[in-house]
Structure 1
Amino acid sequence: MAVKTAVPSEQKVLSFSIVLSGCVALLGIVFGILSGSQSIVFDGIFSIVDVAMCVLVLFVSRLVTRNATPHFQYGFWHFEPLVAVLNGAIMLTVCIYGFINSCKSLLSGGNTVELGMASVYAIVVLAACAGMYLYERKVNVVLKSEFISIDMKSCIMSGAITLALFLSFALAEFLGWIGHAEFKPYADPAILMVITIGLSPIPMGILRRAVKEVFLIAPRDASRRIDEVMAGIRERHGIVDYRAYAAKSGRIHVIDISILVPEDWDRTVPQLDAIRSEIAAGLEQYATLDRWLTIAFTTRQQWL
């Protein structure tokens, strides 16, 4: 009989990511200084930012699992998109910083990189990033954590930076081998410029999604599904009209549906609860423990 493997908690996964990112950051700064590579130093700085954000994410991850308090009666779920905004903004800032530095280095004649040390660094870090990404992807199939999803994107960015570094060092050596050693100093800043431009869409995508949640912009898929469910409810139960309001913030969906019924409607409270259950069943894909669903009935248009 197969034994089921216990899935680690979100906090344990993030804690492991913090330790690994810290090691990668330290490795990047040391190897970057010793090899003279701005790209490796940038990779180390990116990892430091990743560690700092993971610590904040871990704190918020623990916070959102707490019960509501007298001051935060809706809970702490609204902190999740705020952290995502901060994460995306810092990652984008790091990319901009790296791009500016690469431009300055190109204009000043580039810099020579020690290939041996840089190659060792690239191989070790690439293996670490790939392993962490695969591990997080596996556990997040069950956990479905937005925080882990963001950390997976950070792994992709770090791995892409490291892979590009390795290719740039190989290109520099190839240029020297074919008799164009004068171009070798430009390989490091040039690839750093390409990396920062190529990675910028990732934090921009995180920012776009998180800002929508901060401003409580209605998710299209939820709104469309609510309309489909309510169309059937309207036909089966003879309701006059309804208004639906939906928002997503972090891991929670907030859905508020106000239903206008005829004044001579003679449904009892148990029958109204049955309609509520029918609506909830239709919204099953959003029926998580973190869903906030309110369904109200009224005979007055003003309450819609």
Structure 2
Amino acid sequence: MWNEQGFLQISIAATLVVAALGVVFGILSGSFSIAFDGIYSLADAAMTGLALWVSSLIVKSVQIDALSGRIRNRFTMGFWHLEPIVLMLNGCLLMTVASYALINAAMNILNGGHQLHFGVAIDYSAAMVLVCAVMAMMGIRLNRSLKSDFISLDIKAWIMSGGIALALLIAFLIGLAVQQTPSAWIANYVDPVVLALVCLVMIPLPIGTVWKALTEILLIAPSDLKDHVDHVASETVHRLGFSSYRAYVARVGRATQIELYFIVPGGLPPKTVEEWDMLRDEIGAAIGDESANRWLTIAFTADAEWAE
């Protein structure tokens, strides 16, 4: 069974092959839509490579001596913040490429379309449907256990590429079928029209990923996480007779960041450091999700200003 980085490496290799074939077959068939598919795949490969690098940094950051001392000293808060940045950049790039292709398709339609070698185009499209379907199924099966945002975005990219290839295949078959009929003029418009339709479908698809990444970059508190932490903190305040608490939460990529400050009234019986640590352990266990990707800070103070 592959891990996240192993699948992304396979995905990059497959995407580079698809990109090269797309450009070559686009030139041979005279199809702008096939060439676009190749360029789109090339952009996706670049973004997947960046995702692989970030994933490697995040994994190494929680391993002792996996990173050099200089890097660790420069990034003392870890590398989790890079994950939503890469996801947002990826989504924005894919939408930009699709928007540019849509403009070109519209200009081509207004100029009367162009002739196409349908045989070569059909062979390419059929092969791409198969490749994309295999890669998407492999990613879906692996991500059932890993729950990786990077793999999830990569799966979407393969599904989108497969959808493009399938739309091209259907359109090219229609174009081939009408060539020897009175409606042969339609064949000149097949390539730009299908490219425009594909772009209109593709452009909105990454919006959800971009929005999620933006909320993480802006450190917007997820409502489910905030409600859970508030519930645990409120019970702790009530049970131990504290004055109040302050909770600060965020989800950044695969990391969960939680800071809890409990306001302790003056005059309570003193506790040893070990007793405070035991209380932190209890609160941490109640919050749950203890892993290398949880950043939890719990502090106790009698001065509320320290918690603001």
Q: TM-score, normalised by structure 2?
A: 0.90
Counterpart check, 1:34 vs 2:28: yes
Shift of 1:295: 0.8
Shift in Å at residue 112 of structure 1? 2.5
Moved more, 260-269 or 163-172: 260-269
Is 1:198 the counterpart of 2:192? The answer is: no
> Could you tell me which of 74, 79, 88 is aligned with 1:76?
79
How far is 1:178 from its partner?
Answer: 6.0
Q: 2: CA distance between counterparts of 1:63 and 1:173?
A: 50
Instruction: Find the counterpart in structure 1 of residue 305 from structure 2.
Output: 302
- The residue identity in structure 2 corresponding to 1:91 is L
Match of 1:282 in 2: 286
Residue 201 of structure 1: SS of its match in structure 2?
Answer: coil
* Structure 2 partner of 1:48: 42
Q: Name the aligned partner's letter for residue 66 of structure 1.
A: K
Q: Secondary structure at the match of 2:84?
A: helix
Deviation at 1:236, TM superposition (A): 2.2
Identity %: 40
Matched, 1:126 2:129: yes
Q: Distance in 2 between matches of 1:83 and 1:38?
A: 28
Q: Distance in 2 between matches of 1:237 and 1:94?
A: 57
Per the alignment, in what secondary structure is the counterpart of residue 205 of structure 2?
helix
- Flag the 1:192–1:267 CA change in 2: closer, same or farther, 3 A: farther
CA deviations over 1:79-108 (Å, ceiling 9, x no partner):
212211221121111111111111111011
Where has structure 1 moved over 4 Å in runs of 4 or more? 174-178
Q: After the TM superposition, which residues 23-172 of structure 1 pair with which residues of structure 2 at under 5 Å, given as runs?
A: 23-67=17-61, 69-172=72-175
Q: Which amino acid aligns with 2:33?
A: S
Contact 1:37 1:188 in 2 (8 A): yes
- The equivalent residue for 1:17 is 11
Partners of 2:248 and 2:177 in 1: CA distance: 60
The alpha carbon displacement at 1:175 in A equals 4.4
| CA pair 177-205 structure 1, distance change in 2 beyond 3 A | farther
Distance change (3 Å), C-alpha of 1:272 and 1:26? same
Distance 1:202 1:176 in 2: 34
1:288 and 1:12 map into 2 onto residues whose CA distance is 22
TM-score when normalising by structure 1: 0.91
Root-mean-square deviation (CA, aligned residues, Å) is: 1.8
Contact persistence 1:66–1:76 (CA under 8 A):
no
CA–CA distance in structure 2, aligned partners of residues 276 and 169 of structure 1: 64
Deviations 1:218-254 (A, max 9, x none): 1222112212222322332222211111112222111
Deviates more, 1:210-219 or 1:62-71: 62-71
Quick check: 272-281 or 224-233, which moved more? 272-281
Pick which of 171-180 and 61-70 moved more.
171-180
Segment of structure 1 superposing worse, 290-299 or 256-265:
256-265
SS in 2 for 1:76: coil
Residues in 2 aligned to 1:271 and 1:201: alpha-carbon distance in whole angstroms? 53
CA distance in 1, matches of 2:114, 2:209: 33
Aligned residues: 297
TM-aligned CA distance change 1:199 to 1:267, over 3 Å: farther
Deviation at 1:279, TM superposition (A): 2.5
Q: Gapped runs of 5+ residues in structure 2? A: 62-70
